[in-house]
Structure 1
Amino acid sequence: MVDTRVKFRHIQTFVEIARQKSVVRAAASLHISQPAVTKTIRELEDVLGVALFERDGRSIKLSRYGEIFLKHAGATMTALRQAVDSVSQDAANTGTPVRIGALPTVSVRIMPDVMSTFLREDTGSTVKIVTGENAVLLEQLRVGELDLVVGRLAAPEKMTGFSFEHLYSEKVRFVVRANHPLLREGTAIYERLSEFPILTPTRNSVIGPVVEQFLIARGVGALPKRIETVSDAFGRAFLRNSDAIWIISEGVVAADIADGTLVVLPLDTGDTSGPVGLTMRADTQPSLPLLLLMQTIRETAESLASAKT
Structure 2
Amino acid sequence: MINSLEQLRSRLRMRHLQLLFVVSEQGSLRKTAQIMALTQPAVTKALHELENLVGEALFTRTHQGLLPNKLGEAAIRYAQLVFADLSGLHEEMSALQSGNLGTLRLGAMGSLAGDLLPRALAQLTRRHPKLNITVVIDTSDVLLQALSLDQLDLVVARVAQGRPTDELNFEEFDEELIQIVARTGHPLQHSTGLNLETLARYPWIVQSQPAPLREIYQQIFRQAQVQAPASQLETASTMLTVALLQQTDMITLMPLSLVEYYSKLGVLAALPVAVSARLMPFGLISRKGRIPTAAMEVVKAELRVQAGLEGQGVITSD
Normalising by structure 2, report the TM-score. Answer: 0.74
Name the residue aligned to 1:224: 230
Using the alignment, how far apart are the partners of 1:117 and 1:287 within structure 2?
19
Name the residue aligned to 2:252: 246
1:269 aligns with 2:275: yes
Using the alignment, how far apart are the partners of 1:265 and 1:280 within structure 2?
37
1:68-93 Cα offsets, whole Å, 9 max, x none, are 54773454133212222124324544
The range that moved more, 104-113 or 65-74, is 65-74
Does the 8 Å CA contact 1:201/1:247 hold for their aligned counterparts? no
Select the residue among 74, 89, 95 that pairs with 2:95: 89
> Which amino acid is 1:84 matched to?
H
Change (3 A) 1:211 1:3: farther
1:289 aligns with 2:299: no
1:187 aligns with 2:194: yes
1:161-220 Cα offsets, whole Å, 9 max, x none, are 1111011111222101123233321233x1134322211122133443343334333334
Change (3 A) 1:275 1:13: farther
Using the alignment, how far apart are the partners of 2:137 and 2:86 within structure 1?
24
Name the residue aligned to 1:8: 18
Change (3 A) 1:286 1:87: closer
Change (3 A) 1:39 1:50: farther
Change (3 A) 1:119 1:168: same
Change (3 A) 1:155 1:68: farther
Name the residue aligned to 1:18: none
Name the residue aligned to 1:201: 207
DSSP-derived class of the 2:86 partner: helix
Does the 8 Å CA contact 1:153/1:276 hold for their aligned counterparts? yes
Change (3 A) 1:67 1:205: farther
1:114 aligns with 2:120: yes
State the Cα distance separating 1:285 from its structure 2 match. 2.2
State the Cα distance separating 1:236 from its structure 2 match. 1.4
Change (3 A) 1:273 1:161: same
DSSP-derived class of the 1:270 partner: coil
The range that moved more, 90-99 or 239-248, is 90-99
Q: Which one has a larger percent helix, Structure 1 or Structure 2?
A: 1
Change (3 A) 1:72 1:200: same
Name the residue aligned to 2:145: 139
Using the alignment, how far apart are the partners of 1:37 and 1:243 within structure 2?
58
Name the residue aligned to 1:23: none
1:168 aligns with 2:174: yes
Normalising by structure 1, report the TM-score. Answer: 0.76
> Which amino acid is 2:136 matched to?
V
Using the alignment, how far apart are the partners of 2:47 and 2:113 within structure 1?
40
DSSP-derived class of the 1:174 partner: strand
Using the alignment, how far apart are the partners of 2:30 and 2:235 within structure 1?
34
Does the 8 Å CA contact 2:216/2:277 hold for their aligned counterparts? no
Select the residue among 285, 309, 313 that pairs with 1:279: 285
Change (3 A) 1:255 1:79: same
State the superposition RMSD in angstroms: 3.2
Name the residue aligned to 2:36: none
Provide the identity percentage. Answer: 21
Using the alignment, how far apart are the partners of 1:67 and 1:302 within structure 2?
41
Name the residue aligned to 1:126: 132
Consecutive unaligned residues of structure 1, counting only runs of 5 or more, are 15-29, 54-61, 304-309
Name the residue aligned to 1:150: 156
1:47-82 Cα offsets, whole Å, 9 max, x none, are 4435689xxxxxxxx976467547734541332122
1:36 aligns with 2:28: yes
Change (3 A) 1:4 1:111: closer
> Which amino acid is 1:172 matched to?
I
Higher gyration radius (CA):
2
Using the alignment, how far apart are the partners of 1:67 and 1:210 within structure 2?
36
Name the residue aligned to 2:109: 103
Does the 8 Å CA contact 2:175/2:280 hold for their aligned counterparts? yes
